[in-house]
């Protein structure tokens, strides 16, 4: 996608052919800064500190983390240690596990006795493929979702299609396009009037900070709302549909996404608003069915709840305390929306019901798989 006319992706290989460049998402929207990641420590930190975030992008960063680790120590032991550290960097998004499995599979023919240069080259080649595949898949999700938005637009007589989204499932969260935002970008580019209600997404404000920034850069009309406003807007008929992303979707269609997604799904159901989840098949965890029982929910620091960072009138980034001093805070980062509350899953192969049969019908070669894509 473009920022002020220049094409960007949130991750790339630097001109030297080995270091990895990223947009530091902890600085947006106040400052646009890139970082150069040169080793495994840097890759683990980028994921854990959320310089890169969003399920597909975390997977891409992990793949390049393996490359950087192997470049330093091309042994099997180093590979195992790198994968273990990367896997532990954030627990909920299954793309991390998927990407590491992909990297291990690609490196299998290059055992410890193989030429280490070839092993490292194979790693970079596979990481690049993972990134390009993500772009193609997100584009396809966009096309599938565009058809849905077109259908709604046909009923609106030129009035904007009102879409509510939560967190950031845009191009910053993937390698390009995004998942939930891809259909919105395509609808806007196709001349369909759209307006997006952007949940601020406390505590880290991925909506207010990242989604609003992305949409603004692309010229998509949008309004930031507090997380608690969605139900009210739905009661007033101001939301035509919700589209959100997911960090892990179970084989039967339970969806784990940013904390607060479940409440939006409940409000949507109560108000007859369609609730769609956009996802690449890489976020389906075919090994589990029950999202509530089986998905590990990341617990982050309570400091993210009790403090806020923003830009003060002097233009400086400032952190302020917003809670009563001394109060403790809990910070579960994700929640699970049961499949029964999901109107449909927008995947790269089509829109389907959130059910085991429908997912298996779209992805027969993956359903029942032990570790996603093998």
Query: What positions carry a catalytic annotation?
Result: 247
Structural tokens at position 168: 């950031």
Stretch that binds ligand MRU, among 50-58, 269-277, 338-346, 364-372 (CB under 6 A): 50-58
- Please report how close the Cβ of residue 76 comes to ligand MRU at its closest, in angstroms: 30
User: Which member of 51, 206, 211, 249 binds ligand MRU (CB under 6 A)?
Assistant: 206
- Please report how close the Cβ of residue 119 comes to ligand MRU at its closest, in angstroms: 30
Q: Pairing mode, if any, of strands 307-311 and 317-321?
A: antiparallel
Is 66 a binding residue for ligand MRU by CB under 6 A? The answer is no
Q: Which residue is nearest to ligand MRU (CB)?
A: 245
* Residue 6 neighbours by CB under 8 Å, 6+ apart: none
CA distance 129 to 282: 14
Taking residue 196's Cβ as centre, other Cβ atoms within 10 Å add up to: 24
Taking residue 27's Cβ as centre, other Cβ atoms within 10 Å add up to: 16
Stretch that binds ligand MRU, among 80-88, 172-180, 213-221, 265-273 (CB under 6 A): 172-180
User: Which member of 9, 53, 85, 126 binds ligand MRU (CB under 6 A)?
Assistant: 53
Count residues near ligand MRU (CB under 6 A). 18
Closest to ligand MRU by CB, 162 vs 249, is: 249
Q: What are phi and psi of 225, to 5 degrees?
A: -130, 155
Structural tokens at position 225: 């709302």
Cβ distance 146 to 186 under 8 Å?
yes
User: Which member of 89, 102, 144, 179 binds ligand MRU (CB under 6 A)?
Assistant: 179
- Please report how close the Cβ of residue 4 comes to ligand MRU at its closest, in angstroms: 23
- Please report how close the Cβ of residue 75 comes to ligand MRU at its closest, in angstroms: 31
- Would you give the DSSP letter of residue 324? P
Closest to ligand MRU by CB, 107 vs 283, is: 283
3-state secondary structure of 366: coil
User: Which member of 162, 257, 282, 347 binds ligand MRU (CB under 6 A)?
Assistant: 257
User: Which member of 67, 173, 192, 305 binds ligand MRU (CB under 6 A)?
Assistant: 173
Alpha-carbon distances of 243 from 19, 96, 128, 148, 264, rounded to whole Å? 35, 23, 28, 11, 10
User: Which member of 23, 28, 55, 184 binds ligand MRU (CB under 6 A)?
Assistant: 55
User: Which member of 91, 142, 183, 245 binds ligand MRU (CB under 6 A)?
Assistant: 245
CA distance 223 to 212: 8
Stretch that binds ligand MRU, among 37-45, 52-60, 319-327, 346-354 (CB under 6 A): 52-60
Stretch that binds ligand MRU, among 5-13, 51-59, 72-80, 212-220 (CB under 6 A): 51-59
Is 338 a binding residue for ligand MRU by CB under 6 A? The answer is no
The Cα diameter of the chain in Å comes to: 66
Cβ distance 47 to 24 under 8 Å?
no
Closest to ligand MRU by CB, 30 vs 73, is: 30
Closest listed residue to residue 284, CA positions, set 244, 243, 256, 242:
256
Q: Which x/- pattern over 3-42 shows residues binding ligand MRU (rule: CB under 6 A)?
A: ----------------------------------------
* C-alpha 33: how far from chain center: 20
User: Which member of 66, 69, 122, 169 binds ligand MRU (CB under 6 A)?
Assistant: 169
CA distance 270 to 226: 19
Closest to ligand MRU by CB, 134 vs 240, is: 134
CA distance 306 to 321: 6
The residue written with tokens 């637009």 in the block is 153
Environment class of 157 (CB within 10 Å of its CB; exposed 0-12, middle 13-18, buried 19+): exposed
CA distance 159 to 6: 31
What is the footprint of ligand MRU within residues 75-114 (CB under 6 A)?
93
Is 184 a binding residue for ligand MRU by CB under 6 A? The answer is no
User: Which member of 119, 218, 258, 264 binds ligand MRU (CB under 6 A)?
Assistant: 258
Residues that bind ligand MRU (CB under 6 A): 53-56, 93, 167, 169, 173-174, 178-179, 206, 245-247, 257-258, 333
């Amino acid at each position: 996608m473009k920022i002020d006319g220049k094409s960007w992706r949130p991750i790339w290989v630097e001109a030297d052919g080995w270091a990895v460049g990223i947009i530091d998402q902890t600085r947006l929207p106040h400052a646009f800064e890139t970082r150069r990641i040169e080793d495994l420590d840097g890759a683990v930190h980028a994921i854990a500190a959320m310089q890169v975030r969003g399920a597909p992008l975390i997977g891409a960063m992990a793949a390049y983390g393996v490359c950087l680790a192997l470049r330093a120590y091309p042994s099997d032991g180093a590979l195992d240690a790198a994968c273990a550290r990367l896997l532990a960097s954030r627990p909920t998004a299954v793309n991390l596990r998927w990407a590491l499995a992909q990297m291990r599979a690609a490196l299998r023919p290059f055992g410890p006795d193989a030429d280490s240069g070839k092993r490292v080259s194979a790693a970079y080649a596979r990481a690049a493929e993972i990134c390009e595949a993500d772009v193609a898949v997100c584009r396809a999700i966009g096309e599938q979702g565009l058809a849905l938005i077109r259908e709604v637009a046909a009923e609106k007589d030129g009035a904007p299609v009102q879409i509510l989204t939560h967190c950031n499932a845009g191009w910053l969260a993937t390698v390009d396009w995004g998942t939930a935002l891809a259909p919105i970008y395509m609808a806007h580019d196709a001349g369909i009037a759209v307006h997006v209600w952007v949940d601020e997404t406390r505590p880290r404000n991925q909506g207010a900070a990242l989604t609003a920034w992305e949409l603004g850069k692309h010229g998509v009309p949008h309004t930031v709302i507090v997380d608690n406003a969605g139900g009210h807007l739905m009661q007033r008929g101001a939301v035509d549909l919700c589209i959100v992303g997911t960090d892990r979707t179970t084989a039967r269609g339970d969806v784990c996404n940013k904390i607060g997604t479940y409440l939006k799904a409940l409000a949507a159901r109560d108000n007859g608003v369609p609730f769609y989840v956009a996802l690449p098949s890489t976020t389906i965890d075919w090994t589990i069915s029950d999202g509530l029982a089986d998905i590990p929910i990341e617990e982050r620091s309570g400091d993210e709840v009790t403090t806020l960072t923003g830009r003060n009138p002097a233009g400086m980034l400032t952190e302020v305390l917003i809670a009563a001093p001394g109060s403790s805070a809990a910070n579960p980062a994700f929640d699970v929306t049961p499949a029964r509350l999901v109107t449909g899953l927008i995947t790269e192969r089509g829109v389907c019901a959130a059910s085991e049969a429908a997912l298996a019908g779209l992805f027969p070669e993956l359903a029942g798989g032990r570790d996603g894509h093998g």
